[in-house]
Structure 1
Amino acid sequence: MPNSSLTKKHGSDRPESSGSVLKSQRSKLVQSSGKRLKDFEVSVPIVYGNVAFWLGRKASEYQSHEWTVYVRGATNEDLGVVIKRAVFQLHSSFNNPTRVVESPPFELSEAGWGEFEIVITLYFHSDVCDKPLNLYHHLKLYPEDESCTMSTKKPVVVESYDEIVFPEPSDAFVARVQNHPVVNVPRLPAGLNLPSPVQVEDVEKRKRGDTKDSPLTQWFTNFSEADELLKLAAARQQVQAHIAKLRRQLTLIDGQPQQSKPTPE
């Protein structure tokens, strides 16, 4: 791959540890044509990113890492109920750089040596949205922390959290997904009549499309509210401990005898 478009980090002292880099956003999309539910919206929490493993002794000049880039449900549920296909646009030095994944799980595995930006384009089912959504992910092979030793067992993990919001969704879409765990559907307005019940989804097909049994699951970031509350509680404890330490230091300073100024003759 040409150096002009890629970032490559050299040196055997580069660590390979799991260090999730997280960002969060909300993407609003206009719905497809058809009957819409006014003052109503549904959201689909997703996570996109990559997991990269250093090849160690198997590494070569042009293949130092094996990596997987993906879009998954925030709780590893099947996204196929909303997303029809995903297109991953790789660096132009790859053979067939435009990779199309027609069914979940929406992921792509490759090998290489350089870091570059991957454009992930999501296409939705016809009753969801007419326009695709572009996500931009910078492939990371090397962690930011350089204080550890290179390891083939612990990968670099970089993930971003996003909520795809569909304001005023079509009633057909809501009827199809209202009981699906990947979609957040608020309480339906009183007196709302949705279309006739849609065909029950094949549960086995859904299980084949989720990422709960993926070998990468152990490295995925937990985006649950409970996990976030635990992180906030831990951060609060650290702040309180730091405040207590500063107070003790101030007490010691205040308790020291002051040097008297010499009396002028």
Structure 2
Amino acid sequence: MSTSKRALFRIKLGHRSEMLDEPTPDGHTHRWTVFVRSAGPKQFIDRSCVTKVVFTLHPDFPNRRRVIKNPPFEVTETGYAGFLIPVSVSFAGTSKVYKLVYDMNLCLEKYSEHHVEQIVEMKQISATFFDLIINYGGFIKKEKSDKKNVKKENESFPSSPNEEHGLTPENRQKKSKKELKSRENKKRKQVTEERDTQSEIATLLDLQRKLMFITDANKLDQIVHILFSCDNLRNEIGISSDNKLTFDLCSLEPSALSKLQIICSQNMKYL
């Protein structure tokens, strides 16, 4: 027996990453794990809820289509930059395959973990399966009656021009166009800012990777001099257990970053 109500299911999609002490021979600077988890009080311990998760990695990875049929539903790899990961999730109670996309960004911290919650809709599922998914983040969203919807629409749109602060149809149209343009400009600005942030992170990760490959003593001395000349970073520079200099690239001033970029560009023959 199936339920006529819509079932909504919350999925936790995310990744954790660890910065490596030294880059791999391929230039990878991070070890990361992308995962699909329950957003509810219980985690997946068997295949009674989720039966399969497919992660499609970047083309640079061998066997990029990773099929996971048992929990934990996750994939671990090493890399030096983030990328978009298409994720397909199959459930036991429905034949539909839910396709999601996760934007994995590698951070400059030693350890980090990030996740987002995505909601998928399930229709015509059995009452038994619904009782199961309640423990994993599922819930029912009741449909509003037609009468309530009609009433709400009538309340939202005035029946005459005078009901909307005396605006004529022509003025209402101009106002709507202005509001639409404002929303589009705001959305365009948000997208631009997001792209700028992602580009900045990618640049810092690339710089970090190049710095880890520098072995020339003179260039290392130049780097140390640049770091200790930054007042805001001087007290944050540390020494790791294996006698390596540790510092946060995000704390550097643009001028210092530019100097490091120049040193790295002169060191390209070492990469």
TM-score bracket, shorter-length normalisation: 0.3 to 0.5
Higher helix share: 2
Tell me the TM-score normalised to structure 1 length: 0.47
TM-score (norm 2): 0.46
The structure, 1 or 2, with the larger RCO (C-alpha pairs under 8 Å, 6+ apart) is 1
